[in-house]
Amino acid sequence: MDFNQMGKLMQLASKIDIDKITRLSEKVDLGELIGLVSAMDEATLLKMTKMLKTSTNGQPKEPPAPNGDFYDLSATLTDGQRQLQAQTRQFMEEKVRPVINDYWQRDETPRELLLDGFREMNAISHIFNEDGTRKPDAAVTEGILTVEMARVDVSTATFFGVHAGLALWSVVMGGSEAQKKALLPGMLSMETIGAFGLTEPGVGSGVAGGLTTTCRRDGDEWVLNGQKKWIGNATFADFVVIWAREEESGHVHGFIVRGDNPGYSVEKIMGKIALRAVENGLITLADCRVPEADRLQEVKGWRTVADVLRATRAGVAWQGVGCAMGAYERSLTYAQTRKQFGRPIAGFQLIQDKLVHMLANVTAMYAMCLRLSRMQDAGIMLDEHASLAKVYTAARCRDTVALARDLHGGNGILLEHEVARYFCDTEAIYSYEGTNEINTLVVGRAITGISAFV
């Protein structure tokens, strides 16, 4: 051994972890091991090293599959819910995922594709009975459906939620028995699609006291005037539930308004940076005439609107869970395959920190929403419960998709890598069904006993 070799040996020896060597020597005969290795030719030695790097037991080492349900919350669902979950996942992964970026880019809803899928799985029949009453575990089932849709595409969950949540609840809570009989069969089978028109260009958060769309009785008809902004599905819906204030009494009424009602027009809102695969409409009601028979007969003023919003707010909280779950799973896959400095980026501590942070968000959000929906099914969910989940999941979702975008580097702003879409769509989740500020004020009022609304 020359001086250089001696130096190298000393350097290597200084890196040896004696504890590890001791533990190793308890398992194998180190002398024999060194003897075998030193007898190997160079080619065999190279092969051995490669094998040791890629396998633990001679089998190729597969990276663990991404799983956003880390605490196996699905195990607490019923068999029926798990079956629906699997069916929805398959539909979303196989049919929607391959095409959704194109639709998103074109500002278009793939509605025939979605309707075919939802009709085939009879989606709404798992939530509502034929007479409009709810299945005993409807809220959890709806949550599971929503999470599976949003995990691939939030626009799909919104398309579904506007019809099967906002519009359907309005008819169920505000319609007479005759109106329910006429509207529900088509709505449940999704042959008839509904929309929900509450927000106005000048009034969003303050709509409870500030509704400016008016209605006036004129014989057997009503005359509606005003505008409705952001109305999801409005460009193709068979009807929109329009909320308006009566000129004389100030009472809030709900109306079933169809595209052919005189004085009704809708234009598609363009240029959105979020939920581009949802078609949002700006509706104009210019002396729009609606028969008295299409006024929702059981509406009890603003109280009915508030009941509808409370019932559907949990659904939006679930959208945040699905969106964050999708972003986390895509990020883990990306981190396992994307290499920098000669190794998968998943092997860097700072990347693992991001992934674990995202997973913790998803796990907390999922558990929270599951409990919320169980409270809703038990009839004990209050406004503040739904609002807290909306506040928390929207904020955690925003945090998660930002990390996902960041983890993808430059690819994170390319639509083809999907997390860019999740990143943008989250901005809508943050603002609709009550902005995070408004939902915070609802919870703040409940826990302090003092209203901070102005």
Residue (232 or 315) nearer to ligand FAD, CB: 232
Answer yes or no whether residue 316 interacts with ligand FAD by CB under 6 A: no
The CA–CA distances, whole Å, from 4 to 13, 128, 226, 355 equal 14, 80, 89, 44
Q: Which of 154, 188, 198, 211 binds ligand FAD (CB under 6 A)?
A: 198
Smallest distance, Å, CB 204 to ligand FAD?
2
Residue closer to ligand FAD (CB basis): 137 or 279:
279
Question: What is the C-alpha to C-alpha distance for residues 405 and 326, in angstroms, rounded to an integer?
Answer: 12
Would you count residue 284 as binding ligand FAD (CB under 6 A)? Answer: no
Nearest-approach distance from CB 363 to ligand FAD, in angstroms: 27
Q: At 314, which helix (H) or strand (E)?
A: helix 302-337
Specify the DSSP element, H or E, that contains 283: strand 280-291
Binds ligand FAD by CB under 6 A, chosen from 132, 232, 315, 320: 232
Write out the binding residues for ligand FAD, residues 147-166 only, by CB under 6 A. Answer: 162
Tell which positions 376-435 bind ligand FAD, by CB under 6 A: 428, 431-432, 435
**CA-CA distance, 357 to 388, in Å (whole number)?**
21
Indicate the pairing of strand 214-218 with strand 194-197: unpaired
Q: How far is the CB of 195 from ligand FAD (least distance, A)?
A: 6
Nearest 10 degrees: CA dihedral of 436, 155, 213, 211? -10
Residue 95: is it exposed, middle or buried by C-beta count within 10 angstroms (0-12/13-18/19+)? Answer: middle
Vertex 143: Cα angle to 420 and 276 (nearest 5): 30
Per-residue tokens: 127: 């939530």
Contact, 230 vs 278, CB < 8 A? Answer: no
Our CA angle for 158, 245, 429, nearest 5°, is 20
Output the smallest distance, CB 205 to ligand FAD, in A. Answer: 3
Q: Among 73-81, 113-121, 191-199, 341-349, which window interacts with ligand FAD (CB under 6 A)?
A: 191-199
Number of residues that bind ligand FAD (CB under 6 A): 20
The residue type found at 144 is I
**Strand (E) or helix (H) holding 147:** helix 138-152
HSE of 162 in the Cβ direction (CA atoms, 13 Å)? 29
Does position 322 bind ligand FAD by CB under 6 A? no
One residue of 84, 154, 231, 266 binding ligand FAD per CB under 6 A: 231
Kindly write out the interface string for residues 434-453 of this chain, putting x where it contacts ligand FAD by CB under 6 A and - elsewhere.
-x-xx--------------x
Q: Tokens standing for 114? A: 């979605």
Toward ligand FAD, which CB reaches closer, 70 or 453? Answer: 453
Q: How far apart are CA 173 and CA 169, in angstroms?
A: 6
Closer to ligand FAD at the Cβ: 230 or 366?
A: 230
Write down the least CB distance from residue 272 to ligand FAD, Å: 7
- Least separation in angstroms between CB 278 and ligand FAD: 6
Site for ligand FAD in 234-253 (CB under 6 A): none
Contacting positions for ligand FAD (CB under 6 A): 162, 196-199, 204-205, 230-232, 275, 280, 428, 431-432, 435, 437-438, 453-454
